[in-house]
Amino acid sequence: MPTDKRQRQKENRAARLELERKAATRAGRIRTVRNITVLVAVVLGPLLLFSFLSGGDDEPEATTTSTTAGTTTTTTPEQAATATNYELFAGQPTACGATQPPAPADLTFEAAEDQAIAADATVTAVLTTSCGDITLELDPSLAPETVNSFVFLARQGYFDGSPIHRVFPSFVIQAGDPTGVGNGNPGYFLPDEFEEFGTTYDIGDVAMANSSTPGSSGSQFFIVLEENNLHLSFQFIKFGRLVGSEDVIDAIKAVPLGYNSGGEQSRPLESVYIESVAITVG
């Protein structure tokens, strides 16, 4: 018959083993959660970025508030449901202390008219925004039809008064949709003028957004803000480069941001508008 001491030792050993078993179980659960979290990040990360560049519904799911110069603007889901996105932008403060420009004209076209731009021409687009001028150098040798379309739309005043509807400081600035919704187009689409598949997108590159299907680029464009390779399954038409404009880009990146319906914290709560676009071809 075991002594009391041996019995206590046996019970203590059993208790220790049970604690070790529970600890191992908890560690296994933690590893599982971590693995799931990493998997979700790997799978959804590129999808979120892709959704960002593909346009789509940009109405916020939750109330967002912005305060500038003593003026507070609050947008509720109910207001979002009864207003176009442009109206949401128009109903909040204008960024950088600027004055809100006239609303964009409702323009649609069957196709871009030929702007007679030679492949070796130097094409400059100066975007006057609420926060200052952004200068783009367009490359007709790289994407001739895309450059022709951008110049045509700019000369028609298509971009005038339109909001920069997405600002993702560690990724891109996206604009070119007068409705501010994120899926607008000028009434026509461009042929795909892609570079070799796998091309990287460097800081300052300017490219067209699309809806992930061939021939779906229209008027929306984005400026790359940070080094990345956009690990995505689709390509975007690169057609130019940002020239200087660092102070203006920094000012736009500093605008307070709210969440859109896709869960991206990229909706400006102080509206940045493209007031006009001046084109020079030389």
pLDDT tens digits, residue range 28-76? 443 443 443 333 333 344 444 444 465 543 333 333 333 333 434 444 4
How large is the average pLDDT for residues 106-121?
97
Question: Which phi and psi (to 5°) does residue 85 adopt?
Answer: -65, -30
Least confident of 46-50, 91-95, 211-215, 233-237: 46-50
Per-residue pLDDT for 262 more than 70?
yes
**Cβ–Cβ < 8 Å for 207, 221:** yes
Lowest average pLDDT, out of 3-7, 233-237, 277-281, goes to 3-7
Give me the mean pLDDT over the 89-110 stretch.
97
Q: Residue 97 has what DSSP assignment?
A: G
**Where does the pLDDT of residue 213 fall: very low under 50, low under 70, confident under 90, or very high at 90 and above?**
confident
Identify the pLDDT of residue 264.
Answer: 86
What's the mean pLDDT when you consider all of the chain? 79
Q: How confident is the model at residue 107, as a pLDDT?
A: 96
What are the CA-CA distances from residue 116 to residues 127, 143, 152, 280 (Å)? 21, 14, 10, 13
Find out whether 153 and 219 touch, Cβ atoms under 8 Å.
yes
Give residue 195's pLDDT.
85
Lowest mean pLDDT among 2-16, 52-66, 195-209: 52-66
Q: Where are the domains of the chain?
A: 1-51, 55-281
pLDDT of residue 133: 98
**What is the full DSSP assignment across 36-64?**
HHHHHHHHHHHHHHHHHHH------SS-E
**What is the per-residue pLDDT for 229?**
56
Model-level pTM? 0.74
Distance CA 180, CA 162 (A): 7
Predicted local confidence at residue 282, as pLDDT: 94
pLDDT score of 5 more than 70: no
Tell me which architecture the domain covering 55-281 has in CATH: Beta Barrel (2.40)
Percent share of the chain, pLDDT over 90? 57
Q: Which of 5-19, 63-77, 121-135, 211-225 has the highest mean pLDDT?
A: 121-135
Structure-model confidence comparison of residues 259 and 98, the more confident one? 98
Per-residue confidence (pLDDT) for residue 226, from 0 to 100: 86
- Give the model's pLDDT for residue 35: 44
Query: Which carries the bigger pLDDT value, residue 155 or residue 11?
Result: 155
pLDDT for 183: 85
Average pLDDT of the residues in 117-121: 98
- Which of 199-208, 216-225, 250-259 has the least mean pLDDT? 199-208
Per-residue burial over 214-249, b if 16 or more Cβ lie within 10 Å, else e, is eebbbbbbbbbbeeeebeeebbbbbbbbbeebeebb
Highest averaged pLDDT of the listed ranges 14-28, 108-122, 189-203: 108-122
Residue carrying the six token digits 């993702």? 168
- Give the per-residue pLDDT at 20: 56
Provide the pLDDT for residue 33.
37
